[in-house]
Structure 1
Amino acid sequence: MSASLAAAPPLTDAMRLRAIVAGSAGNLIEWYDFYVYAFTALYFSSEFFPKSDPLVQIMATSGIFAVGFLMRPFGGWYFGRYADRKGRQAAMVVSVLMMGAGALLISVLPTYASIGVAAPALLLVGRMLQGFSTGGQYGTAATYLSEIAGPKRRGFWSSFQYVTLIGGQLSATLVILVLQQVFGDAGMKAWGWRIAFAIGAVAAACIVLLRDHMHETASAADREGEHAGSLAELFRHSTRAFLIVAALTAGGSLMFYSFTTYMQKFLVLTVGMTKEAATLLMTVVLIVFMVQQPLMGLLSDRIGRRTNMILFAALGALCTPFLFGALATAQSPLAAFLLIAAGLTICSFYTSVSGLFKAELFPVHVRALGVGLAYGIANAAFGGTAENVALGFKQYGMEHGFYWYVSAFCVVSLVAALMLPDTRRDNPLDR
């Protein structure tokens, strides 16, 4: 039995399943709210930055998207400490409600035409609130799902963190697709994008209804210990683990965001697809990607998390430049689909067990802090800046440089993956 669950009554399979579903639902809502910004930026960028050319407008809104990522380390620290001291359940609920507040703020913002430079400033505030929330949700959800999953098929059950993360992305894409069909391009630019944010705010409020199913996984003794959630304690015993997580997250997050949120813009700006065609294509790709997560999680239960990470990093380093280069000259939606799906299949080796391998590296009393903070820093530095780096390369006529940039950080992740322990026989979550 896990040390964190030692003091709690044993969970039945039904209770464990309900807890996983409840925790996953909160994760889905959180990520829907976060990603709807990326998928509506093509519509509202001119409303907040009206005097720029289209590429600069997108870069400006992508910059605010990146600022949301820069808040993640702070959210990872705050909510990681909160989860290690007050419990995983409480931290997840507060995080989702905070995300909903950010979505609500953005949905009702006046535009530049109404209040001038205050409009993009308030957009920045809303995005910072969402970034802070997301930084807390990732580490807490990863820790919670890893602990609640139990020793059998832990890779499979933990993969639902990214099933719901991708599900949030997919939900955002589907909502945008429906709104595009109902309101058209002009209606989406005028106010249709606001509906997508409002839906997320309402969904976030509903998380309160699920909190009773989220059983606490950290014992009172773990939470009340003198060093619970302590930065000093984290770096006293887990500095190596922290650096490994950060290095793996750098390559994993960069590749993930390159083939998901940035890909919609790449299809429009480089491949030449319409916004509607790009949205539809990414919807189909995300469905395939989501289905791959539990399959790759099951695979990790057989071959180990370390092998998953090595496969991801090695294939990512070798294949990314080829995949992007071929995509840039893709002649059909089918060709584009196959190339993007290939990139995300490689990424699935990482995403399916992303939260689990991180949680396995840290002791229970600083686990949420270690996972959330290491992820938040690396994700902000490399995942959150992916769009702006890519658009910067494009602006200077060196778009191919971005392909090799992603490949280089996959090499960094490969070095870290080779340093991972094999947890199939001796797993810290079972101690």
Structure 2
Amino acid sequence: MTTTLNPQREARTALRKTIVGTGIGNAVEWYDWAIYATFTPFIASQLFSKADPASAVLSTLAIFAVGFVARPFGGFLFGWIGDRVGRKTSMTLAVGLASLGSLLIGIAPTFAAVGVWASLLLLVARLVQGLAHGGELPSSQTYLSEIAPRERRGLWSTLIYTSGTVGILFGTLLGAVLNMSLSTEMMNAWGWRIPFLIGAAMGLYALVMRARMHESSVFEGESPAEKREPIWPQIVRHRKQAFQVIGLTVGLTVIYYIWGVVAPSYATTALKIDRGEALWAGVVGNLVFIAALPFWGKLSDRIGRKKVLWAGATGAAVLHFPMTWLLKDSAWQLAVSMSVMLIFIAASAAIVPAVFAELFPTSIRTVGVGVPYSICVAAFGGTAPYLQQWLKDINMAQAFNLYAVVLLVISILFIFSIPETKGKDLRG
């Protein structure tokens, strides 16, 4: 009896470690990016000149965007590692690099101490994090999709945005707690550094967890000849799928960054909503998002990926303007608008890891997703906070909202171009 149960128990333990290792690493990556957006006002005041506060905020947001420039390079580098050396190796290296970026920000000297060198170090740290995040998402979602049972792959793929949102939620909660516990002077002096130092420590823990994971059996099942096949000819051969990744991502990335990441910070800086109240409203919205993800994931395993993608993108496009009109000057408006939008954003977010993995063969699955996805996120997601703030400053906020909806419509049209891949065998 013991010999029968032990292998089962060991298999469950290994699976649990795999899920935790994948989830915590992904959460750390997303946490890093969320706390940067959350603590933008403090970073701007400490690492840039205080002579022009508005310019300092825009410069901080510009570096947020510049960090995305490194993502396509990260997508190719870590994608190549993932498709040639292994998914596990790629994921482990990516989270280690992200931890280094957080540490650099946490210990960065102030502008008052070293002048423009403070801003330059921030830029370097963001480029390091951009490189890491460009490799993290395609590596982890490819790995997760390959170890998932094909009939439940839609549900399993929700771990990517669930764990990522937990990272965002933890960063938001930490911001709210620090805002209540520390004075403005203390936050400006050293309090804003705490989240980045915590992120560095969590990244080291995630690195250890991932080093103990097992490799994907789908990847291990490839022949040596397939693993040695040149990357670029395969990228060219699968260019249609690459364009489909871009088309599906372009609307989701902008609408997600608007409502899921920078909404509390935007409400504080542009709409003058109390910082603490805005952060708590962000917590509410992200909890709703987490609750919605498994619903959409399970539904896609039953009715198909395309129907869920259409429902989510169409709902977000229709409701974006009404929710921006609702959001004016109070935290409850922020909580309601974020919650409504994130329910529909969750439909696409829940299953795109599975959809992308199902579009490509094993030999190019990581880099095939990583490069086009990172290019799209860099060009559109990374510039969204800056563009939103800039158009708000010149009284053209509605132009940005129209831009977001147009991109969602483009994603809706691209859904028509992809095949239904529910339950597809990923071996091959």
Normalising by structure 2, we get a TM-score of 0.93
The offset of 1:211, in angstroms, is 2.6
- Which residue matches 1:339? 337
1:268–1:208 CA distance, 2 compared to 1 (3 A) = closer
Structure 2 match to 1:225: 226
**Deviations along 1:361-382, whole A, 9 cap, x unmatched?**
0100000001111110000011
Contact between 1:66 and 1:385, CA under 8 Å: does it hold in 2? yes
Please state how far the C-alpha of 1:222 moved relative to its aligned partner: 4.7
**Structure 1 pair 212/270, CA: closer, same or farther in 2 (3 Å)?**
closer
Measure the CA separation in 1 of the matches of 2:230 and 2:26: 22
Q: Residue 38 of structure 1 corresponds to which residue in structure 2?
A: 37
1:167-206 equivalences under 5 Å are 167-206=166-205
Distance 1:75 1:260 in 2: 23
1:256 and 2:256 correspond: yes
> 2:351 aligned with 1:350, yes or no?
no
From 396, 416, 420, the counterpart of 1:422: 420
Cα separation, 2, equivalents of 1:263 and 1:28: 19
- How many residue pairs end up in the alignment? 417
Give the match's secondary structure for 1:271.
Answer: coil
Is residue 109–residue 122 contact of structure 1 (8 Å, CA) maintained in 2? Answer: yes
Q: Secondary structure at the match of 1:216?
A: coil
Q: Is the 8 A contact 1:325 1:400 kept in 2?
A: no
The CA distance in 1 between the partners of 2:212 and 2:248, in whole Å, is: 32
2:300 equivalent to 1:300: yes
Whether contact under 8 Å (1:363, 1:428) holds in the other structure is: no
**Residues 199 and 223 of structure 1, relative CA distance in 2, 3 Å threshold:** farther
Kindly indicate whether the alpha-carbon contact (under 8 Å) linking 1:16 and 1:149 is maintained by their aligned counterparts in 2. Answer: no
Distance in 1 separating the partners of 2:172 and 2:247: 29
Structure 1 partner of 2:277: 277
Q: Distance in 2 between matches of 1:336 and 1:41?
A: 19
Alpha-carbon shift at residue 221 of structure 1 (Å): 3.2
Indicate the residue corresponding to 2:208 in structure 1: 209
5+ unaligned residues in a row in structure 2: which ranges? Answer: 1-9
Q: Deviations over 1:335-389 (max 9, x none)?
A: 3312211111110011101211111101000000011111100000111111011
Q: Which residue is equivalent to 2:386? A: 388
Matches within 5 A, 1:135-154: 135-154=134-153
Q: Output the CA distance in 1 between the equivalents of 2:227 and 2:296.
A: 38
Q: 1:368 to 1:260 in 2, by over 3 A?
A: same
Please name the residue that 1:413 is paired with.
411
Instruction: Structure 1 unaligned segments of length 5 or more: list them.
Output: 1-10
- Is the contact between residue 16 and residue 148 of structure 1 (CA under 8 Å) also seen in structure 2? no
TM-score, normalised via structure 1 length: 0.92
User: Percent identity of the aligned residues?
Assistant: 33
The Cα shift of 1:50 comes to 2.1
The CA deviation at 1:148 is: 0.8
Q: Which moved more, 1:225-234 or 1:113-122?
A: 225-234
1:8-39 CA-to-partner distances (Å, cap 9, x unmatched) read: xxx94553343122211111122212322111
Task: Pick closer, same or farther for the CA change 1:382–1:242 going to 2, 3 Å.
Answer: same
